[in-house]
């Protein structure tokens, strides 16, 4: 492999961890064939490229002109790559490219703690909640056999060395004790990750989610066009998506994504509703949770109490 110049170590680590987790067809191996390119003589930086369609993305990846490290096949048409300044300009001018944004660090967002609603007839049985966070410690007694390490975008084993993912899973479990919880690790032991890894996690969920599904995103990055595209794709596929914000209220964006400071509890509540109504569309779930339409940007200041926590727990 040619030497990557001028890159933070977090991106170098992410680049090494792509061979097994990035779905690049064997007939399309420029990502592993970059050694055929001349040695890079100027700095390269990490970027996310969004193509105008899946065919355009496949063609761009197949040209072997870019140092592709992740190829997204489901959540969005695009790829993560390293580019020189000249290559960036070339891609920006390519009519097959919709947008390009710099890869960057993604950080965890801490949800507020709350008492779960009283038990009711629904427990989340038959549903799967995907916790996009720092991994999972499945040995905690209360989880039983309902949790597993489904995917690790960092190239590890899914072990939670930061603690936030296990804590988030515990809060989901406290509301929906019979829901299956799948850990999708996108954050490293230092507590942060990369946008490319977060997109890989959402891409994996889009390819593997079956049946009534909920995705809990306790990460920042709401201002990322690529992440927004991936989340909207999940919602359109039928996955109820809830992200963390500082507002206590459950607020729903135009794209159908719910945000709340109590995100794991909202995710658990969604799983409970899907237990009894497995075919419910995300918009119907949001309506049951009384998620209010967000006006403009998601508020960052606490407002009223969470609608979910005001419910009596009966379904």
Q: Is residue 72 part of a domain?
A: yes
CATH number at residue 73: 3.30.70.80
Q: Is residue 1 part of a domain?
A: no
Q: Which of 83, 103, 123 is the last residue of a domain?
A: 103
Q: Are residues 147 and 257 in the same domain?
A: yes
Q: Are residues 22 and 96 in the same domain?
A: yes
Could you read off the pLDDT tens digit of each residue along the chain, which spans 315 residues? 333 333 344 433 443 343 334 444 333 433 223 333 445 678 999 999 999 999 999 999 998 788 999 999 999 999 999 999 999 999 999 999 999 999 999 999 988 888 777 778 899 999 999 999 999 987 776 788 899 999 999 999 999 999 999 999 999 999 999 999 999 999 999 889 999 999 999 999 999 999 999 999 989 887 899 999 999 999 999 999 999 988 888 999 988 999 999 999 999 999 999 999 999 999 999 999 999 997 755 443 333 444 444 343 444
Q: Is residue 2 part of a domain?
A: no
Domain carrying residue 114: 106-310
CB 114 within 8 A of CB 265: yes
Q: Are residues 99 and 114 in the same domain?
A: no
Q: Are residues 68 and 135 in the same domain?
A: no
Helix axes 263-276, 164-175, angle to 10 degrees: 40
Question: Among 34, 69, 75, which Cα is nearest to 51's?
Answer: 75
CB 275 within 8 A of CB 125: yes
Q: Is residue 3 part of a domain?
A: no
97: left (phi over 0), alpha (psi -120 to 50) or beta: beta
Q: Are residues 301 and 169 in the same domain?
A: yes
CATH number at residue 162: 3.40.50.200
Question: Among 19, 101, 100, 32, which Cα is nearest to 67's?
Answer: 32
Q: Are residues 119 and 210 in the same domain?
A: yes
The reported pTM is 0.83
Q: Which of 103, 135, 150 is the last residue of a domain?
A: 103
DSSP, collapsed to helix, strand or coil, labels residue 190 as: coil
CB 14 within 8 A of CB 48: no
Q: Which of 40, 69, 103 is the last residue of a domain?
A: 103
| pLDDT tens, position by position, 52-96 | 999 999 999 998 788 999 999 999 999 999 999 999 999 999 999
Q: Are residues 298 and 200 in the same domain?
A: yes
Q: Is residue 255 part of a domain?
A: yes
Q: Is residue 163 part of a domain?
A: yes
Q: Are residues 82 and 163 in the same domain?
A: no
User: Who contacts 151 (Cβ-Cβ below 8 Å, separation ≥6)?
Assistant: 21, 158, 182, 183, 184, 185, 201, 204, 205, 208
Q: Are residues 48 and 111 in the same domain?
A: no
Q: Are residues 201 and 134 in the same domain?
A: yes
Domain count, the chain: 2
């Amino acid at each position: 492999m040619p030497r990557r110049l001028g890159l933070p170590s977090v991106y170098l680590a992410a680049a090494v961890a792509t061979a097994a987790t990035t779905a690049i067809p064997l007939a399309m191996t420029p990502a592993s064939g970059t050694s055929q390119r001349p040695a890079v003589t100027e700095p390269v930086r990490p970027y996310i490229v969004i193509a105008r369609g899946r065919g355009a993305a496949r063609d761009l990846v197949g040209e072997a002109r870019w140092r592709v490290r992740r190829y997204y096949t489901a959540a969005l048409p695009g790829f993560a790559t390293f580019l020189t300044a000249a290559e960036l300009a070339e891609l920006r001018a390519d009519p097959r490219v919709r947008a390009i944004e710099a890869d960057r660090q993604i950080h965890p967002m801490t949800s507020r703690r709350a008492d779960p609603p009283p038990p009711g007839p629904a427990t989340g049985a038959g549903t799967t909640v995907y916790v996009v966070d720092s991994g999972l410690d499945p040995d905690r007694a209360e989880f039983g056999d309902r949790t597993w390490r489904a995917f690790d975008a960092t190239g590890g084993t899914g072990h939670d060395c930061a603690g936030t993912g296990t804590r988030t899973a515990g809060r989901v479990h406290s509301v929906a004790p019979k829901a299956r919880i799948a850990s999708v690790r996108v954050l490293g032991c230092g507590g942060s990750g990369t946008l490319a890894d977060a997109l890989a996690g959402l891409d994996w969920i889009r390819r593997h989610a079956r049946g009534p599904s909920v995705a809990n995103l306790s990460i920042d990055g709401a201002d990322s066009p690529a992440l927004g595209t991936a989340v909207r794709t999940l919602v359109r596929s039928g996955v109820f998506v809830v992200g963390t914000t500082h507002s206590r209220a459950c607020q729903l964006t135009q794209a159908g994504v719910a945000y709340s400071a109590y995100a794991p509890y909202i995710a658990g509540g969604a799983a409970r509703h899907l237990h009894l109504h497995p075919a419910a569309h995300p918009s119907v779930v949001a309506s049951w949770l009384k998620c209010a339409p967000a006006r403009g940007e998601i508020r960052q200041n606490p407002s009223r109490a969470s609608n979910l926590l005001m419910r009596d727990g009966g379904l």
